Amino acid sequence: MTTALDTLTTRTGLALRDVTLTYPDGEARLTALDAVSLDVAPGEFTAVAGPSGSGKSSLLAVAATLLRPDCGEVLIDGVDAGALGDRERTALRRDRLGIVFQQSNLLASLTAVEQLLVLESVRGRRPREARRRAEELLASVGLEGAKQRRRPHQLSGGERQRVNIARALFGEPSVLLVDEPTSALDHERGAQIVTLLAEITRAHSTATVMVTHDRDLLGRVDRVLEMHDGRLS
Ligand SMILES: Nc1ncnc2c1ncn2[C@@H]1O[C@H](COP(=O)(O)OP(=O)(O)OP(=O)(O)O)[C@@H](O)[C@H]1O
């Protein structure tokens, strides 16, 4: 069976159209996203800043197709995620999205290279080719040589975050979603991670969205959007 995803070739990035998301709140509903629209083109690095509780994580979860909005559309490379069945949406996420969560969620028993290779079973590259690509990606985020064979507890917080970023890039995503990547890091290391994300956005032509509340780190992004009470401006 041919699906919308099989025929998809062009990369157009991320678009949200009038997205509203509510959560149950006792008898009522709390509006976390209020008619949010957003376009992020390939190669564009957009930051979303705003106070705690303003809806930033909800925005990323909806863009990541992990939460379904009450209404509105989420388009990844022009494909409306809401129109897909569960299986197709999972495939869209796997093939088109890279997600970097706030805390590094690396597996304790695996080395840096293995954190990337563990994804391989679902992608079907040849093992040697996959290992070479994993090593190249880790080197490109600044982790070279013996560090690639270390486990998470043998790496610094910044290095773990680099592994996370390399892992998110392993599937060659069109859209890169990054949630508070610097929350566990000091200012200097945080700034290095944001610089790295800016470079990645150019080099890989990803439509990158980074959520942050650290305004000191916004110098390297193309655009800063403000989130307030579920509204984006
Ligand atoms: N699962 C949930 N159930 C009910 N309400 C929720 C849920 N998740 C988030 N909320 C509420 O939705 C609103 C937006 O939350 P969200 O986590 O998106 O904000 P945020 O800007 O990411 O905050 P922070 O910077 O503290 O992580 C908040 O009022 C929050 O309390």
| Predicted confidence pLDDT, tens digits, the chain (233 residues) | 445 555 556 899 999 999 999 999 999 999 999 999 999 999 999 999 999 999 999 999 999 999 999 999 999 999 999 999 999 999 999 999 999 987 667 889 999 999 999 877 656 677 888 899 999 999 999 999 999 999 999 999 889 999 999 999 998 999 999 998 888 788 888 888 899 999 999 999 999 999 998 888 888 899 999 999 999 98
Is 178 exposed, middle or buried, given 0-12, 13-18 or 19+ CB atoms closer than 10 A?
A: buried
What domain count does the chain have?
1
- Cα separation, 148 vs 146, whole angstroms: 5
32: CA distance to ligand 1 center in Å?
7
Minimal-distance CA residue to ligand 1 atom 14: 55
Evaluate whether residue 9 is within a structural domain: no
Query: What is the residue with the minimal CA distance to atom 31 of ligand 1?
Result: 53
How is residue 128 annotated by DSSP? H
For ligand 1, atom 5, name the residue with the nearest CA.
Answer: 23
> What's the ipTM?
0.96
Ligand 1 pocket, mutate which of 36, 56, 67, 229 (most atoms under 8 A from CB): 56
Atom of ligand 1 minimally distant from the CA of 24: 4
- The C-alpha atoms of residue 136 and residue 133 are separated, in whole angstroms, by 5
29 C-alpha to ligand 1 centroid (Å): 13
Round to whole Å and give the CA distance between 116 and 131.
9
Residue 79 · residue 70 · CB < 8 Å: no
115 within domain boundaries? no
Ligand 1 lining (C-beta closer than 6 Å): 23, 30, 32, 50, 52-58, 213
Residue 200 maps to a domain:
yes
pLDDT of residue 126: 79
pTM of the model: 0.92
Does 74 map to a domain? yes
CA distance 217 to 191: 6
Closest CA to ligand 1's atom 16: 55
Residue 25 lies in a domain: yes
50 exposed, middle or buried (CB, 10 Å; 0-12, 13-18, 19+)?
buried
Atom of ligand 1 nearest to the CA of 58: 18
The predicted structure's pLDDT at residue 5 = 55
Q: What pLDDT sits at residue 96?
A: 94
Question: In what helix (H) or strand (E) does residue 179 lie, and over which residues does it extend?
Answer: strand 175-179
Question: Using CA atoms, how far apart are residues 140 and 23, in angstroms rounded to an integer?
Answer: 40
Angle formed at CA 13 by CA 7 and CA 16, multiple of 5 degrees:
105
Residue 65: inside a domain:
yes
Q: Name the residue range of residue 22's domain.
A: 14-106+172-232
Domain assignment present for 116: no
Q: Give the pLDDT confidence score for residue 2 in this predicted structure.
A: 47
Beta bridge partners of 22: 31
Residue 72: give its domain's CATH number: 3.40.50.300
Rounded to the nearest whole angstrom, what is the distance from the C-alpha of residue 230 to the centroid of ligand 1?
10
Q: Is residue 2 in a domain? A: no
Task: Among 58, 60, 183, name the best residue to mutate to test ligand 1's pocket (greatest count of ligand atoms within 8 A of Cβ).
Answer: 58
Q: Residue 180 and residue 182: Cα distance in Å, rounded?
A: 6
- Helices 187-204 and 157-169, axial angle in degrees (round to 10): 10
